[in-house]
Structure 1
Amino acid sequence: MRGPNFSLAGKTILITGAARGLGAAMAHACAAQGAQLRLQDINGEALEATADGLRADGATVRTAAFDLTDFDACTDWVQGIDPIWGLINNAGITNHGHVLDQTVGDYRSIYDLHVFAPFVLAREAGRVMRANQGPQRGRIVSISSIAATHPRPGVGNYASSKAAVAGLTRSLAADFGTDGICANAIAPGYVLTEMNRKILGDEGFVRRIENRTPAARWADPAEIAAPVAFLMSEAASYINGQLIAVDGGMNAFLQSNEG
Structure 2
Amino acid sequence: MSGALSERYGSMFDLTGRSVLVVGGGGIGAEVAAALAAHGAAVTVADVDAAVAAAVAERVGGRSAAVDVTDTGSVAALAAAGAPDVLVTTVGMNVRRSLAGYSDAEFDRVLSVNLRGVFTLIRAFGPVMAAAGRGSFVAYSSIRAQTVEPGQGAYAATKAGLVQLVRTAAAEFGPSGVRFNAVAPGVVATELTGQIRADEAWSQAYARRSALGRWAEPAEMTGAAVFLASDASSFVTGSVLLVDGGWTAVDGRFDPPLPG
CA-based RMSD = 1.5
- Could you list the runs of 5+ residues in structure 1 that have no partner in the other structure? 56-60
Partner residue, 1:51: 57
Shift in Å, 1:63:
1.1
- Does residue 29 (structure 1) correspond to residue 35 (structure 2)? The answer is yes
Decide which moves more: 140-149 or 39-48: 39-48
Alignment of 1:78-89 (within 5 A): 78-80=79-81, 82-89=82-89
Partner residue, 2:93: 93
Residues 36-94 of structure 1: CA deviation (Å, up to 9, x unaligned): 11211122222222221112xxxxx22112322111111111112x2411111211111
Shift in Å, 1:255:
4.7
- Extract structure 1 runs of 4+ deviating beyond 6 A: none
- Does residue 200 (structure 1) correspond to residue 197 (structure 2)? The answer is yes
CA contact (8 A) 2:69 2:120 kept: no
Equivalent position SS for 1:87: strand
Counterpart-to-counterpart distance in 2, 1:69 and 1:28 = 25
Counterpart-to-counterpart distance in 1, 2:19 and 2:126 = 13
CA contact (8 A) 1:106 1:157 kept: no
The alignment's TM-score, normalised by the length of structure 1, stands at 0.90
Aligned match of 2:251 in 232, 251, 254?
A: 254
The alignment's TM-score, normalised by the length of structure 2, stands at 0.90
Aligned match of 2:177 in 168, 175, 180?
A: 180
Counterpart-to-counterpart distance in 1, 2:193 and 2:187 = 8
Partner residue, 1:138: 135
Counterpart-to-counterpart distance in 2, 1:46 and 1:77 = 17
CA contact (8 A) 1:88 1:141 kept: yes
Residues 86-132 of structure 1: CA deviation (Å, up to 9, x unaligned): 11121111111111111332222111111112112122222222233
> In the alignment, residue 67 of structure 2 is paired with which amino acid?
F
The percentage of counterpart residues that share the same residue type is 34
Equivalent position SS for 1:231: helix
Change (3 A) 1:67 1:204: same
- Could you list the runs of 5+ residues in structure 2 that have no partner in the other structure? 254-260
Equivalent position SS for 2:73: helix
